[in-house]
Chain A
Amino acid sequence: MGPGDGALNAPAWLKWTWVIPALFLSVLLGAPITMVVQHSLDAVSTFEWSSTLHIAALAALQAFTSTCVALAVGLPLAGALSSYQFRGRALTQALVTVPFVLPTVVIALAFRGLFGSLLQPGFLLVVVAHTYINLAVIVRIVGATWQQLDSREVIAARALGATPFRAFVSVTLPQLRGAILSASAVVFVFCFTSLGVVLVLGDSSTRTLESTILRESSLLLDFPAAALTSVLQLFVVTAALLIGARASMLRTRATPILRIARAPRPRLPRQRLFVYAIAISGVAIVLVPLASLALDSFRGQGGWTLQWWQSLTSIDSGTTRLGSPASAIAVSLKYALISGLIAGLIGVLAAMSVLTHRLGRAVALIALAPLGISAATLGLGLMLSFGRPPIDLRSWDLLIPLSHSLVAVPLVIAVVLPTLRATDSRAATVASALGARPTRAFFTAYGPTLRIVLLAAGGLAACVSLGEFGAASFLARSGDPTVPLQIVRLMQRPGDASFGVAAALAMVLVIGTVMLILGVDALGRRRTAR
């Protein structure tokens, strides 16, 4: 049950967990948005409403389609991964997350290579790429809930005369509804505000407000118009996230789980067939585009070569900015650590406050906003807000990991909340009865969960940071570039070596992500094993 239950013995500070996330958000989110809204007022009279609304409608259609396709592909995968335990499950789960953190330019190139002239840039290709990237969101968020369903409930329904389909629709689906809606909202928002994918793989039918904002802000330098477009986008995004949040995240009622049923092994031949067929096709979907990239990292004009991997440390050495890809790895890891720590902490606190205080729910709702705020706008808003002395934080090193964590927090909340809800608070009562003081009793009950959840959340946030998207790409920074930026830069110049080394570096990112997620999952499993 929720940590707020048994209010009698809940420690007093528990009611105040919302304060820290609220402060974090009001500084990093509130201030920039206020600046942006203020700027947007100047553009109201000269704004091109009809063409902007037309783009918004196009983007909504594209995002809706992408979400549906992502659900169609992601749900079976989430089901197979969460209803059965099998060898390779953790690896499959980790692999599915990879596309989410790869720079969009890498994914775009991989898809162009994969489909060649078969699938020209346009609506279809954008939908396919969005599905690919967002598979992880569906599998992770829906999977977190699905894992907690007792598979015997379906058997109970079957014994009452329900066909497999009927049992799924009437027993499994209703319990996943909240998770599906909130995952869908997140995917919709990602697709609605997509930039990199629509620029490279799109055409006129896949424009987004984000691409309009980019043009207005960094090509035409028309900031009021960019701000107004951002505000419009913010409206749509907020609406979508509210629908998703209402359905699931902000439910305060805990879902009591008498005992967490361990997912069974697929013991029957047909279960094995089902699980492995889905898992293997899921892995194939993820790996096929990556495979072409992996091959590129070993392929030269005259055949196979290790040159690109060998020059990971040497290419461009002696020059300034490109430093070496090796230094990019160090920088990425540093940012991943910091933002993992920050987002893990803030996200867990926010998730706890949802269960403990009315204001906590509001805070968690606001924390969702970074998912859909134009990266360009947020970046510029941050510059506007923190650019005046005495608080000039613009070239502050922490600003980049902070903005990474801003995007990671909502994902952390979405993953942590179900686990916190499922924790048995009766242990706290027991501890109190044994004479423990409230704080002590609280940690007796929630300590183990919190520790694991914090690590898992931190890991997730670190992955988001590794992938580096969102506002960070618009922030000025000193020091060496991160891995994704380095990849993009290498790809932005001619020559086989640039391309080969970029592919090798992308593989480093893939491997790093997989290892990080495997580590986090191993920690999470330890909890269920206990």
Chain B
Amino acid sequence: MSIHASKLFIGLVICSTALLSACGDSESAGPTTVRLLTHDSFVVSQPLIDQFKKDTGISIELITGGDSGAMVAGAVLASGSPTADVLFGIDNTLLSKAIEADIFSPYTATEADSILPTLGDDTSGGVVTPIDYGDVCINIDDAWFTEQRVAKPTNIDQLTSATYKDLLVVQDPASSSPGLAFMLATIAKYGDGWTKYWEQLRDNGVAVSGSWTDAYESVFSGGAGDRPLVVSYATSPPAEIVYAEEPKPKKPSTSVLTEACYRQIEFAGILRGSPNEEAAQQVIDWLLSAPVQADVPLSMFVFPARQGVTLPEVFTKFAAQVPAPLQLPAGDVNAHLAEWLKTWGQVMGR
């Protein structure tokens, strides 16, 4: 009995393995497949991909390259003989390193005129195309401030004052993307005085988390923690509504401090060495097309790069509009990032 049972088991294992790997095989899709390399958080509605195939005959195969950093690292290492045709999701902190490594084949999207003028700069122009953007800002747990009868902060200077002692949690810029963005925001805002600002934050009891998840879910009072201020995104409040429990609340319990936000722009580009360059160009155009751009807010909780796209109501109502987002020139970030991270580590003792 036992012998038969285990033979049967082995047989089943082998059969199902063969079956499953047959299902997973997507190599044979033909020449009109464009491989789109993205990071873990890329999402787009499936009907849009289906429609694209119907319109152009091009099917899109998504390849995930880990988080944004790992994906770019892989693409840089593979420069010239890429694993994919199009890369989406490189942001303005890593862009100039990637361009330096010559991983992209330059292309200007057909509808490049429609892009918000603030999003392009001389580094990206003509090489890659901005697809979406978002702002990293301090988020506020409104309920806490109401209960404690403390005024909500209106700019990040105040965070070093006694009123806000032990109230803020940030992320380690070396391991977290919003953490890095917030550090860059302070550099953009204070220039050489940024280390002094961090010394003051440190003395005022700022907490440092290793990841956004830990900061937002475990330390932030909007999650399970007790600190009412956290570094997150300007679009976190609408996400709170969209991903809320049914019945969904009328309005989010968090708000955004719109001063000293750092702007993250995500670009798409054609990878140099792609055998399908023409089809790849169509994919870039598709990413910038109105339907995809309209899909971007609720899929990834970012703003579309294209002008004149109607935003969903939850965005217009609750996503913070940042009047003057901060940004550093890509070249500066490229040149100084290692040194900044080291300095930050020294100041914060990490």
Residue of B46, B81, B240 near A387 (CB, 8 A) is B81
- CB pair B6–A202 under 8 Å, yes or no, is no
> Does A376 contact B338, Cβ atoms closer than 8 Å?
no
Q: Chain A, 177-210, contact with B by CB distance < 8 Å: what is the 0/1 string?
A: 0000000000000000000001111111001000
Which of B25, B74, B214 contacts A200 (CB under 8 A)?
Answer: B214
Stretch at the interface among A75-83, A152-160, A474-482: A474-482
Asked if A498 and B349 sit within 8 Å, CB to CB, the answer is no
Contacting pair A319 B46 (CB below 8 A): yes
Q: Are A476 and B72 in contact (CB under 8 A)?
A: no
For residue A445, give the distance in angstroms from its CB to the closest CB of chain B. Answer: 16
Q: Are A319 and B45 in contact (CB under 8 A)?
A: yes
Q: Contact: B20 with A337, CB < 8 Å?
A: yes
A270 at the interface (CB under 8 A from B): no
Asked if B83 is an interface residue, CB under 8 A from chain A, the answer is: yes
User: Contacts of B213 on A, CB cut-off 8 Å?
Assistant: 105, 109, 200, 488, 491-492
Closest-by-CB residue of A relative to B75 is A476
Chain A residue with the shortest CB-CB distance to B79: A387
Interface residues of A in 444-500 (CB under 8 A from B): 451-452, 455, 458, 473-479, 481, 485, 488-489, 491-500
Segment among B33-41, B110-118, B154-162, B187-195 that sits at the interface with chain A: B33-41
Within 8 A of B (CB), among A253-302: 300-302
Q: Size class of B's contact patch? A: 35 or more
In the complex, residue of chain A having the shortest beta-carbon distance to the beta carbon of B348: A204
Query: What's the nearest-Cβ distance from chain B to residue A120, in Å?
Result: 8
**In the complex, residue of chain B having the shortest beta-carbon distance to the beta carbon of A106:** B213
B71 within 8 A of A: yes
Known: A202-B210, A476-B64. Is A218-B69 also a contact (CB below 8 A)?
A: yes
Judged by a CB distance under 8 angstroms, whether A221 is at the interface is: yes
Residue of A nearest to B42 (CB): A321
Expressed in whole angstroms, the minimum distance between the Cβ of B11 and any Cβ of chain A is: 12
The complex places the Cα of A217 from the Cα of B77 at a distance, in Å, of 10
Nearest residue (CB) in B for A199 is B210
B294-315 vs A, Cβ < 8 Å mask (1 yes, 0 no): 0000010100000000000000
Q: Does A316 contact B (CB under 8 A)?
A: yes
Which of A215, A379, A455 touches B341 (beta carbons < 8 Å)? A215
Q: Are A398 and B101 in contact (CB under 8 A)?
A: no
Whether the Cβ atoms of B232 and A300 lie closer than 8 Å is no
Within the complex, what minimum Cβ distance (angstroms) separates A196 from chain B? 9
Q: Which of the four size classes fits the interface of chain A?
A: 35 or more
Q: How far apart sit A479 and B6, CA to CA, in the bound complex (Å)?
A: 31
Whether A397 is near chain B, meaning CB under 8 Å from some CB there, is yes
**Contact status A217-B73, CB under 8 Å:** yes
What is the CB-to-nearest-CB distance from B206 to chain A, in angstroms, rounded to a whole number? Answer: 13
On whether A220 and B338 interact (CB within 8 A), knowing A199-B210, A383-B74, the answer reads: yes
| Chain B nearest Cβ from A394, distance in angstroms | 5
Contact A493 B301, beta carbon cutoff 8 Å: yes
Q: Judging by beta carbons under 8 Å apart, are A478 and B20 in contact? A: no
- The reply to whether B43 and A478 contact each other, CB–CB distance below 8 Å, is no
Given contacts A218-B73, A221-B73, A493-B301, contact A300 B97 (CB under 8 A): no
Q: Which residues of A contact B101 (CB under 8 A)?
A: 221
Contact of A117 among B62, B226, B348 (CB under 8 A): B226
Contact: A388 with B76, CB < 8 Å?
Answer: no
Contact partners of B20 in chain A: CB under 8 A: 334, 337-338
Q: How many A-B residue pairs have CB under 8 A?
A: 224
CB atoms of A109 and B217 under 8 A apart = yes
Is A143's beta carbon under 8 Å from chain B?
no
Please give me the residue from chain B that is nearest to A387 by CB atom.
Answer: B78
Q: Is the CB of B77 within 8 A of A398?
A: no
Q: Tell me if B232 and A319 are in contact (CB < 8 A).
A: no
B65 at the interface (CB under 8 A from A): yes
Segment from B120-128, B242-250, B261-269 that makes contact with A: B242-250
Beta-carbon nearest neighbor of B60 in chain A: A320
Known: A204-B350, A219-B174, A491-B217. A320 touches B74 (CB 8 A): no
B290 sits at the interface (CB 8 A): no
Q: Which residue of chain A has the shortest Cβ distance to B243 in the bound complex? A: A495
A388/B81 contact (C-beta < 8 A), A218-B72, A455-B6, A479-B26 known: yes
Give Cα A307 to B247, complex, Å: 11
Interface-central residue, B2, B44, B71, B242, by most chain A CB under 10 Å: B2
The minimal Cβ–Cβ distance linking B234 to chain A, given in whole angstroms, is: 12
List residues of chain B with CB within 8 A of the CB of A31: none
Q: Is A108 an interface residue (CB 8 A)?
A: yes
In the docked arrangement, what's the CA distance between A476 and B242, Å? 29
CA distance A389 to B67 in the complex (A): 26
Say yes or no: A495 contacts B240, CB within 8 Å. yes
**What distance in Å separates the Cβ of B198 from its nearest Cβ neighbour in chain A?**
14
> Given the known A-B contacts A109-B214, A380-B77, A492-B41, are A199 and B175 also in contact in the complex, defined by CB atoms under 8 Å?
yes
Q: Considering the chains assembled together, what is the distance between the CA atoms of A394 and B71 in angstroms?
A: 13
A128: CB under 8 A from chain B?
A: no
Q: In the complex the two chains form, is B47's CB within 8 Å of A318's CB? A: yes
**Are B2 and A476 in contact, CB atoms less than 8 angstroms apart?**
no
* Chain B stretch 179-236: residues in CB contact (< 8 A) with chain A: 180, 208-214, 216-219, 224, 226, 232, 236
Tell me if A124 counts as interface (CB < 8 A to partner B). Answer: no
CB distance from A277 to the nearest CB of B (A): 32
Judged by a CB distance under 8 angstroms, whether A392 is at the interface is yes
Say yes or no: B66 contacts A473, CB within 8 Å.
yes
A307 touches B63 (CB 8 A): no
Please give 16 more A-B residue pairs, beta carbons under 8 A apart, in addition to A109-B213, A394-B83.
A203-B208, A219-B174, A221-B73, A221-B76, A221-B97, A316-B43, A338-B17, A387-B81, A395-B35, A397-B21, A397-B26, A455-B9, A478-B35, A494-B243, A496-B245, A530-B2
25 A-B pairs (CB sep. < 8 Å): A112-B214, A112-B218, A199-B172, A200-B210, A200-B214, A204-B345, A204-B350, A219-B341, A220-B341, A223-B73, A305-B245, A316-B43, A318-B45, A321-B40, A337-B20, A338-B21, A376-B70, A379-B66, A452-B6, A476-B63, A479-B24, A488-B40, A493-B243, A494-B232, A495-B239
* The 8 nearest A-B residue pairs measured at CB: A495-B243, A218-B69, A112-B218, A199-B210, A334-B20, A497-B243, A494-B239, A204-B350
A residues with a Cβ closer than 8 A to B are 105, 108-109, 112-113, 116-117, 121, 198-204, 207, 211, 214-215, 217-223, 300-302, 305, 307, 316, 318-322, 334, 337-338, 340-341, 376, 379-380, 383-384, 387-389, 392, 394-395, 397-398, 451-452, 455, 458, 473-479, 481, 485, 488-489, 491-500, 523, 526, 530
